[in-house]
Amino acid sequence: MSLHLIELPLALRDLHLWAGQRRIGGDFDEGLVLHHLLGEVFGASALQPFRLMVAPDARQATLYAYAAATADALHAAAIASLTPGQAALIRLEQLRSIPRPSTTWKAGQRLGFDVRLRPVVRLHGALAGHTAEGEPVSLSKGAEVDAFLARSLRGEESERAAVYLDWLAARLAPAARLEREATRLASFRRLVVMRKGRRLEGPDAIVHGTMVVEDPEAFAALLARGVGRHRAYGYGMLLLRPPQRIQS
């Protein structure tokens, strides 16, 4: 399988202006805007999964993504139909890539990672109860629900971080094994996103940690696919790092 790590600088102010001119969503939904932009410039799903990393000054950002095509191939595809508006916010001349063949990974190899997740589950049956704040909740079968809320409504006591790491570990397997002692929930917030004209409120979590490769071929496929739901909107990309220190 051909896999390449893509790096692409973006101008944040121009991205906001472009979204406003296109009237994409109501409130600014970064994932939705990038979903539209990348699809229009490079083709549907060409850069997926992806992750936008914003500079400290909040003016510039760098988009990372996994792709089947090289930077040269993506550049050639984009330049044929690029509009002036798109060219203003995408630094196409700075598009770069590096190959990530499956032979890069070895069974037993420890890898650090940084991943942004939307840890939600689909309910197989209706659930009702109360939130941690005591508010009543009634959810129908098939609803997309915060994994922590779903477990709480079933009466299973647990910490949010533990639930999210369980959720992540299940989705890494069998390609990789999560090292729980070297993994942590780095940040969490609740975020409203737009999907098919509907406002969905749910968890937005960033996890820093370490995993052990168990099946190199499956691991390469996992990188290309991403983790969890909403992968076409900036979630689930495993950015690889040196292994994390084991927490004492």
Is 138 inside any structural domain? no
In this predicted structure, what is the pLDDT of residue 130? Answer: 64
- Where residue 20 sits, what CATH number does that domain have? 3.30.70
- Residues 163, 73, single domain; the answer is no
- Residues 116, 93, single domain; the answer is no
Reported in sequence order, the residue ranges of 27-168 that DSSP labels E, i.e. its strands, are 50-54, 60-67, 96-99, 110-117, 120-122, 127-130, 136-139, 144-146
Is the peptide bond prior to 174 cis by the omega test (within 30 degrees of 0)? yes
- Residues 180, 229, single domain; the answer is yes
In this predicted structure, what is the pLDDT of residue 123? Answer: 86
- Residues 25, 81, single domain; the answer is yes
Order of strands, sheet of 60-67, starting from the edge strand that comes earlier in the sequence: 50-54, 60-67, 4-11, 96-99
Is 133 inside any structural domain? no
Q: Would you state the structure tokens that stand for residue 78, as one six-digit string?
A: 């984009």
- Residues 15, 84, single domain; the answer is yes
- Residues 41, 108, single domain; the answer is no
The pTM for the full model equals 0.90
Is 139 inside any structural domain? no
- Residues 112, 10, single domain; the answer is no
What is the chain's pLDDT, residue by residue, as a tens digit (248 residues)?
A: 689 999 999 988 888 888 888 777 556 688 999 999 999 999 999 999 999 998 777 678 999 999 999 999 999 999 999 999 899 889 899 999 999 998 999 999 999 999 999 999 988 877 776 666 667 777 778 888 999 988 888 877 789 999 999 999 999 999 999 999 999 999 999 998 888 777 888 999 999 999 999 999 999 999 999 999 999 999 999 999 999 777 65
Is 45 inside any structural domain? yes
Q: Give the list of residues 6+ apart from residue 83 with CB closer than 8 angstroms, or none.
A: none
- Residues 167, 230, single domain; the answer is yes
Q: Would you state the structure tokens that stand for residue 30, as one six-digit string?
A: 């970064």
Q: Which domain holds residue 22?
A: 4-100
Last residue of a domain, one of 100, 132, 150: 100
- Residues 11, 96, single domain; the answer is yes
Q: Would you state the structure tokens that stand for residue 9, as one six-digit string?
A: 């600088």
Is 169 inside any structural domain? yes
- Residues 112, 189, single domain; the answer is yes
Length of the chain: 248
In this predicted structure, what is the pLDDT of residue 240? Answer: 97
Q: How many structural domains compose the chain? A: 2
Reported in sequence order, the residue ranges of 12-95 that DSSP labels E, i.e. its strands, are 50-54, 60-67
Centre a 10 Å sphere on the Cβ of residue 200 and count the other Cβ atoms it contains: 14
SS3 content of the chain, % helix, strand, coil (to 5): 30, 35, 35
- Residues 209, 109, single domain; the answer is yes
In this predicted structure, what is the pLDDT of residue 199? Answer: 83
Question: Measured between alpha carbons, how far is 67 from 80 in angstroms, rounded to an integer?
Answer: 19
Q: Euclidean distance between the first and final Cα of the chain, in Å?
A: 39
- Where residue 196 sits, what CATH number does that domain have? 3.30.70.1210
Q: Tell me if 116 sits within 8 A of 205, measured CB to CB.
A: yes
Is 129 inside any structural domain? no
- Residues 96, 111, single domain; the answer is no
